[in-house]
Amino acid sequence: MAKNGFKIIDAELHVMEPADLWEKYIDPEFKDRAPRRLTDRDWDIRTVVEGDVMASMADYNWPARSNEEATALATRYAAEIAVNFSPESQVQAMDNEGLDLAVLYPTAGMFITARNGMDPRFAEAACRAYNNWLYDYIEAGDPTRMFGAAAVSPHDVETAVTEAERCVKDLGFKAIFLRPNMYNNRSWHDPYYDPLWATIQDLDVAVGFHETTGSRMPATGADRFPDDLGIAHIATHSIEQMMVCMDVIMGGVMERFPKLQFGFLEGQCGWLPFWLGRMDEHYEWRHPYGEMQDLKMKPSEYFNRQGYAAVECEESFVSHVVEAVGGERLLTTSDYPHGDAKYPHTIDTFLKLPLSDESKRQILWDNPARLYKL
């Protein structure tokens, strides 16, 4: 397709799951507990999981807590709502943005494992149902342009391994989606997860970390502002990505699994120079005193080998990031069809950023193609 001479891969295009997805796709054993997306409003991503209304703040009244916001979202996505965000409408949305290819991430599906202490078998069944639906959705749309990111449940690493293998080998998915939050008080560098990291590395697909506000997971920002989406959202997406980035670097995951590639999505990229620099500084300070001995090189070098961060289309200071750390580890995403997306003007807005054509080509195509093996 190409837009203004650039081929474009959206590293994180969301689906809007039908309300009855899990009722139709989940194992019969769990049908009476099936998650469901609410449809009280024309545009509604609130999702009921085990009786808890997620994608909402403490008062259960977000998104679209005001009539003005509800009307704005219903208007922006009116065509898609009219056809229940069908596979054909997903392809049309890609055309509207000028996207050649896209890797699909969940919306309601981001919440189906998002509470500590969940029944592991239920969480695994919910993920398997979502993945089966996503495969059918892509096949009904355009499997030459859309590719799946599989949801797996961190509540049980053995079933996560099995589902990752199934989704890549049988369904052809290109990434494994995980939330950045700590599950059940385990850091991501805990050896408990090593079988999952080993499997994903052997499968030669990417890990895509993506945060959401309004889950029931511990998240920076939501802990301090449980009733205010706008304030919590300032922190949750970026800071949880910063924390998981530090987790997998400083905790030695990238050292133990040197071919594993990580995408830190929808958290902006402006934090990269500061955060990588701070990790390097502490490595140089503490390593001579016997700490961080599992690391064989500077933290920034691990990121430059195995990490990618997503640029927001209005992130004008990205030029400073490119100057500081280079443009080879950056991606961009549309975030369609969410409330803070700039659809259908994401790519037009991105192309106005103060970047060279070379950097734009890297971010729009070369880097996501390398991450996702497209």
pLDDT in tens, 276-302: 999 999 999 999 999 999 999 999 999
pLDDT of residue 227: 81
Please provide the size of the chain in residues.
Answer: 374
All domains of the chain, ordered by start, with CATH? 9-372 (3.20.20.140)
pLDDT of residue 1: 75
Sign of the dihedral through C-alpha 347, 340, 303, 148: negative
pTM over 0.95: yes
Positions in the chain whose pLDDT score sits under 50 = none
Amino acid found at 159 = T
pLDDT of residue 63: 66
- Tell me the C-alpha distance between 196 and 192, whole Å: 9
Q: Which residues contact 310 (CB under 8 A, 6 or more apart)?
A: 11, 12, 263, 264, 265, 266, 267, 268, 269, 330, 331, 332, 333
Tokens linked to 67: 């009539």
